[in-house]
Amino acid sequence: MTLLRLVLRGLKPYSIWVLLVVLFQIVGVLAALYLPTLNADIIDDGVAKADVPVIWELGQLMLLISFGNIIALVAANFFAARSAMRTGKDLRSKVFAQVSSFSPRELAEFGTPSLITRSTNDVQQVQMLVFFSLNMLVQAPVTGIGGVILALRVEPGMAWLIAVMVPVMLVAVGILILKAAPLFKQMQGKIDDINGVLREQITGIRVLRAFVREDRERERYAVVNDQLTDLNRRIGLLMILINPIIMFILNVSSVMVLLVAAPRIDAGQMEIGSITAFIAYLMQILIAVMMATFMTMMIPRAMVSADRITEVLDTETSVHQRSDGIRDVEGPVELTFDNVSFTYPGAERPVLEDISFTARAGQTVAIIGGTGAGKTTLINLVPRLMDATEGRVLLNGHDVRDLDDARVLWDRVGLVPQRPYLFSGTVASNLRFGDPTADEQDLWHALTVAQGRDFVASMPTELESPIAQGGTNVSGGQRQRLCIARALVAKPSLYLFDDSFSALDLTTDARLRAALVPETKDALMLVVAQRVSTITAADLILVLDNGRIVGQGTHTELLESSETYQEIVRSQGVEEEVA
């Protein structure tokens, strides 16, 4: 039922095209059914009686109907393909839009390889089913029923042949399909596995080479590749049996018709044209049965794909956006965490617990702590990449969950993520993610502040220099500076720097922080940092440990009051600052 609902919803916008498919299929099938009768008339009334004018007359009519059959079926295939492709396009768009709305929680639940397979291979399976279903929607049943009626009209005495050969065809092809159906269900899971391994190896290629683990990863890939290959081989072995079995049944049917009809023709009870027409109709009936059976072979795999697609479409993001959210938030930015806690699904304990602080425009708030302390999670709660499970995050006194995200929240936020990511395109196209209307002067200014002007200016085409997907054709430090420049182009009132200076040397780090001061003097900055030297001038430093704030204040105050902060300072080799 899931597959049927998905297909019906997908085809609804294209109901006119589906109607045209049905219309042309009816015309084509009726033409095909009339051809054996014409052929029989040519043999009986023309060839047998040596009546050349009848042969020419009926032959021309037969040729005309054949052309009509071709034109009708081509038109039907055209509109069927158009409907199926558009349905697939719409499904991919819906899956993409749904995945784009997911928070990290939902993305982790499905996994990236599975989401890629669901939006490509799974949609393709449903798309193929729609195409073949539309092609056979009318053709198979009308051909089968019409063929039976006309065959019995030509020679009622051989009805038992149809009653015998149709079940034989159904049983033979049905057995093969029953064996293949479970294998098709396993196919999508194997594709997920191979996509997962391939993506992991491509993403981590530098680590593999650094630790000389290429051979191990080749073996790992070979395992999942062999499993998929073996599954395809088993399905292929079953599928290659279908054609010879069908041809055997068709040929046996023809021989049986001739054996039964020969004595009747000899006795003058049946004409030669009638036997050719009966054989043609029997072939059409068996082919219609074969096409209908092939459809059932495609259904199990498409059902699995439909379930996987529907699972994505029916999954609601944990970050709900209000259509009637608050749009007017006046005054300088003020950010408040009010007893905020956050727990990942299935986790035994919160990642963040009872976080409370207030920060205002013009301030720099630094967040420091050990690995796993919850620093990135805290930053992600501000732009609603995730929502707090307890407590409230307030922007100018309004809960961020009550705001119009696009117009109020996201337009005010400039995020530089922990893992700097660039999109395929150019330097300019990446920077204009911050502001599509920014001119070159704005871009160069942002690059100057982010300490990226020199290396961009040294590129062959400067701002129009190509950037590979993920920014893999620039160094880690250059990638980080381009991401900082991208946030500066947006000119937000709330900057979120999630460990955004870690790939910079101390000199570049110091120059960048100094250049940021005049640019961000009216904005609020939240900075996640690993190096104490990066945050000594912050107006407020939050020290996190196991998801809790264990100290807050200025650098000087924390050196006197926070043991955790003192340990961090000592670990970085600046013990003299603690004294």
Q: What is the mean pLDDT of each run of 10 residues along the chain (579 residues)?
A: 81 88 86 77 69 77 86 89 89 86 75 80 86 80 78 73 78 75 73 78 72 77 85 80 78 78 69 74 77 72 82 77 68 83 78 85 84 82 82 82 73 81 85 83 87 85 84 81 86 83 76 82 84 80 84 83 80 54
Give 517-556 as a 3 state SS string.
HHHCCCCEEEEECCCHHHCCCCCEEEEEECCEEEEEECHH
Instruction: Give me the pLDDT at residue 579, please.
Output: 40
- What's the pLDDT score for residue 322? 64
CB neighbour class for 454 (10 Å; exposed up to 12, middle 13-18, buried from 19): exposed
Strand pairing partners for 420? none
Q: How many CB atoms lie within 10 A of CB 559?
A: 17
**Which of 185, 263, 193, 183 lies closest to 230, judged by CA?**
183
2-313: CATH number: 1.20.1560.10
468 SS3 class:
coil
pLDDT digits (tens, 9 = 90+) for 245-278: 777 877 887 787 777 777 776 666 666 767 777 7
State the pTM of this model.
0.67
Are 217 and 201 in contact by the 8 Å Cβ rule? The answer is yes
What pLDDT is recorded for position 407? Answer: 66
CA–CA distance, 204 with 272 (Å, rounded to integer): 73
Q: Which of 271, 268, 175, 191 is nearest to 227 (CA)?
A: 191
Check residue 576 and give its pLDDT: 45
Looking at residue 426, what DSSP letter applies? Answer: E
pLDDT at 267: 67
Which positions ≥6 away from 114 have C-beta within 8 Å? Answer: 192, 195, 196, 308
Token representation of residue 444: 């160069």
Cα 161 from Cα 576, distance rounded (Å): 101
pLDDT at 405: 65
* 464-488 pLDDT, tens digit each: 888 887 777 888 788 888 888 888 8
Q: Return the half-sphere exposure (C-beta side, CA atoms, 13 A cut-off) of residue 53.
A: 0
